[in-house]
Amino acid sequence: MQKRKLGKSGLEVSAIGLGCMGMSSGYGPPKDKDEMISLLRAAVERGVTFFDTAEAYGPFTNEELVGEALAPMRERVVIATKFGFKFGPKGEQIGLDSRPEHIKEVAEASLKRLRTDVIDLFYQHRVDPGVPIEDVAGAVKELIREGKVKHFGLSEPGMQTIQSNRSLQSRTNIHCGGENPKRKCYRRSKNSE
């Protein structure tokens, strides 16, 4: 399997990654847990090293699935997860929350669900207009200093957010997939370097 380096961070992953959301949510009911564990482990055996999840997927259950499946081969994989949503009592998304104290709470919970001591790539799932990006980057930098996170990323940010963050966190990875048109991704990535 070919490898790719994400941005300027030095984070190396397989050219093909596996987005895990659909295993637990998003595309109908959750899939059979044992089948998904087998699928995740088979992907590793075929050379896939990059796995993407988030607390919002399920919510929470996708991180648990990925953690259980990849724990026996943790040293061979890169796990990306995301923060930034607020959940209600029934697990429903009720807004954005990228306050520094919430980011730290999410990191601790994600570490447990993922059965690991470090998150390889920690993304802000959606930019929270109520929290300055400098505060978000500062909170993740603190987690990096504490050894709980290796790399910081942004999912679907606007150009102003990228430029503002660039001065704070030179090792940021940008994800432009999801609902945004893919044609914008290249322009964003190129301009952010």
Catalytic residue ranges:
57
Distance of CA 2 to the CA centre of its chain: 21
CA distance 130 to 116: 30
Q: Which residues pair with 155 in a beta bridge?
A: 175
Distance of CA 183 to the CA centre of its chain: 21
Could you give phi then psi for residue 133, rounded to 5 degrees? -60, -30
Give buried/exposed letters for 104-124 (b at 16+ CB in 10 A, else e).
Answer: bebbeebbebbbbebbbbbbb
